[in-house]
Structure 1
Amino acid sequence: MNRRSLNGQSLSGIEASPLGVVASVVIGGLLVLSFVDHPGLFVDQAIGGLVYGMILVLIALGLSIILGLLGIVNFAHGALVMLGAYVTFEIMTQIGLSFWVALVIAPIIIGLVGIIIERGVLQFVYDEDPLVGLLATFGLSLMFTELVRAFWGGGPKGVPLPQALSASADLGVTTVARFRLFTVIVGALTVLAVYLFIKRTSFGLSIRAGVLDREMAEFLGINMPIRFMAMFFLGSFIAGLGGVLRGAEVGMDLGMGEHFIILAFVVVAVGGIGSLFGSVFAGLLIGEAQYLTPVVLRTLATVTGIQWLAVPGIDGLVPYLVMIVVLLVRPRGLFGQEGFLE
């Protein structure tokens, strides 16, 4: 099986074009105009986009790790996000432990579930057509959804926020929930930790060596199955962490896995398959675009008097519009590697 490096691409890998420069200037001008017109609303939406984008980063980061290492299109990744949220509900409401305990324990449990998936199913399809792995993980996703329905029911659930994070922080022009700021901090630290683990540790270097040439790495005594299993644990752990944070903020339901797996694939496609940096950049880009686009269009409609510009429900279409535009210009994504998985 052909495995490629997880190295991301630099910003210099994207060639600037006159059209791109003009588009950047126009978008920047609209953002400034929107801020001047409604500073409080703009900042509130920008923070909301940052928080949502960070959740997308966590989910897409785990997906990108698994896809980049193993070449497996893990359609069960969204179900792992959902499981992370529901395990948090179980730990807090049924067992009676605190959110802080759930924040640590729930991702570990999801990571172990990921190991079971990798050892029990996916190791047998590594050298098969990618469609086989996709169908296998799709079946696992359906199974997990029905297990959650049987164990926790089909209705929405929620957990109480810890007292330290339930208040709001005053930012001058607006206030923001402390839990949102906490989500951003946790997400940023997770991204930094993953980067340092893959790029700066001997374990990470051995994994990258095995990705480039597995036979040579195993000849040198590197146990690649153990390392791939560890990376699957890491990818699943991050998915579970995203589920904990999202579930604690807005609650959980059976549809959240399906919702986030679709958006995670959008993020990976926009950022470029095989690029961790691309997943981070694309997640934040889509999060901000989804939250700020309605504000910009509302401001533009007010300034021009063309009311139909404020399209209702446009935020739900934004991720897919961003993906279409990016893939039309760069079919590999913003930071994708040429020939990846070919």
Structure 2
Amino acid sequence: MNAIPIPGTQRSITPAGGVVWGVLVLLTVMSAIVRPGLFIDQVIGGLVYGLVLVLIALGLSIVLGLLGIVNFAHGALFMLGAYFTFQLMEVWGVSFWVTLIVAPIGVGLVGVAIERGVLRHLYDKNPLNGLLATFGIALMLGEATRAIWGGTPRSVVAPQVLSMGFDLGVTTVSRIRLFTVAVAVIVIAAVYLLIERTDFGLSVRAGVLDREMAEFLGVNMNVRFISMFVLGAAIAGLGGVLRGAAVGMDVGMANQFIILAFVVVVVGGIGSLFGSVVAGLLIGGASYLTPLYLSTLAEVTTLEFINIPGIGGLVPYLVMIVVLLARPRGLFGQEGFLE
């Protein structure tokens, strides 16, 4: 059978693809009818989780796209944002609203130290050098965090206005989740406008394509590159603040989230900020909804083996495998990037 063209694009929906989409729609409707409260909880949980991944992946994608360095220390910067939140709120008594600004700035300053002290010596070098260097930095930051704040999980008390629930009728959602969604959307929109709609962003994109020509025209690429690196670090720190305020923090969160952030960047396509946003939301939603779909299907069909324990943790990697098999460059990867 011939593929069905999608108007305005060069892609098509094959019959097999149509079946997959039909099954997903059916499972979504079934889950919403059988367990409406849990369905909404999982949708919002997946949205929040996905947006936190996007906040980490944005900085990772910026550094990789601009500097060509695989920054394995980016997860540690995310972790520092959470622990700075603990230090400011629980130890020093600073309000959450002040912490929301101060902690990302502090992480950004750590990013300056990393860029000036280590990474600037690795530009235009073998990417493996940057990977090994940032891996070492991640280990040092992890051990420093353990030495300062201990290895046990920590938590903070969110403001009362964010601790209360928001009644949606069939369920109640914590306001900190909705606040995380709002902040993440604002940050993503701001980064897009900075990169795509300002002269600064235009000069940065020009430097990525041809650094020598941009510098010949008088653009100070060193200043722009360090500014974007600090921005990426601060965004990761902000993600840490939001995650830490919602569920707490532990040293292991650095390794857990950096791996997932790399999955997001690969699925979205290396070099594509828009791809990172789409991939983060896709992986977040799939991680939360897949267990619900399977448990609902098991309940309806009485086939308990369908309900696979722990499947949510495997979903990001399954999504990555499927996407790379279909599109080796990722969903929105740029041809020739980093090749």
- Superposed, which structure 2 residues align to 1:86-105 within 5 Å? 86-105=83-102
1:318 and 2:315 matched: yes
d(CA) in 1 for partners of 2:268 and 2:91?
Answer: 39
The answer to whether the aligner puts 1:213 opposite 2:210 as a matched pair is: yes
Using the alignment, how far apart are the partners of 2:297 and 2:140 within structure 1?
A: 46
- Give aligned-pair identity as a percent: 68
In the TM superposition, what is the alpha-carbon distance from 1:18 to its structure 2 partner?
2.9
Gaps of 5+ in 1: 1-10
The aligned counterpart of 1:73 is 70
Residue in 2 that maps onto 1:158:
155
Aligned to 1:7: none
Where does 1:1-342 land on structure 2 (aligned, <5 Å)? 12=9, 15-342=12-339
The AA in structure 2 aligned to 1:252 is: M
How far off is 1:21 after superposition? 2.3
> What SS does structure 1 have at the residue aligned with 2:166?
strand
Change (3 A) 1:13 1:79: farther
What TM-score do you get using the length of structure 2 for normalisation?
A: 0.96
Q: State the distance in 1 between where 2:197 and 2:11 align.
A: 26
Amino acid at match of 2:179: F
What is the deviation of 1:115?
Answer: 1.4
Secondary structure of the residue that 2:336 maps to in structure 1?
coil
The SS at the match of 1:317 is helix
Task: Look up the SS of the partner of 1:176 in the other structure.
Answer: strand
Which residue of structure 2 lines up, in the alignment, with residue 8 of structure 1?
none
Normalising to structure 1: TM-score of the pair? 0.95
The Cα of 1:305 is off from its aligned counterpart by: 1.9
SS in 1 for 2:13: coil
Distance in structure 2 (CA, Å) of the matches to 1:88 and 1:12: 45
- What secondary structure does 2:173 align onto? strand
Q: State the 1:213 CA deviation.
A: 1.1
Structure 1 residue 22 displacement after superposition:
2.0
Question: How far 1:325 sits from its partner (Å)?
Answer: 0.8
Does the 8 Å contact 2:59/2:235 carry over to 1?
A: yes
Shift of 1:12: 4.4
User: Matched residues in 2 for 1:310 and 1:183: separation?
Assistant: 30
- The Cα shift of 1:294 comes to 0.8
Cα deviations by residue, 1:117-171 (Å, 9 ceiling, x for unpaired): 1111111111111111000000000000011011111111111001111100011
Query: What is the one-letter code of the residue matched to 2:88?
Result: I
* Aligned structure 1 segments of 4 or more residues deviating by more than 4 angstroms: 11-15
Q: CA deviation at 1:107?
A: 0.4
CA distance in structure 2 between the partners assigned to 1:330 and 1:22 by the alignment: 19
Maintained 8 Å contact 2:79/2:254: yes
Does the residue aligned with 1:59 lie in a helix, a strand or coil? helix
User: Is the 8 Å Cα contact of residues 68 and 124 (structure 2) preserved in structure 1?
Assistant: no
Specify every segment of 5 or more residues in structure 2 that has no aligned partner in the other structure, as ranges: 1-7
Instruction: Report deviation, 1:15.
Output: 4.6
CA drift of 1:19 comes to 2.2
**CA distances 1:65-85 after superposition (whole Å, capped 9, x unpaired):** 111111110000000000010
* Contact 1:14-1:334 at 8 Å conserved across structures: no
- What amino acid does structure 1 have at the position aligned with 2:82? A
Per the TM alignment, residue 20 of structure 1 is displaced from its structure 2 partner at its CA by 2.0
Which string of whole-angstrom CA distances, capped at 9 and with x for unpartnered residues, describes residues 18-57 of structure 1? 3222211211111111111111111111111111111011
For the residues of structure 2 that align with 1:240 and 1:13, how far apart are their CA atoms?
39
Q: CA deviation at 1:16?
A: 3.4
Q: 1:58 & 1:20 partners in 2: Cα distance?
A: 30
One-letter identity of the residue aligned with 1:327: L
Number of aligned residue pairs: give it: 332
The Cα RMSD (Å) is: 1.1
* Other structure's SS at 2:63 match: helix
Question: CA distance change for structure 1 residues 181 and 225 in 2, over 3 Å: closer, same or farther?
Answer: same
State the shift of 1:14 in Å: 5.3
Paired position in structure 1 for 2:4 = none
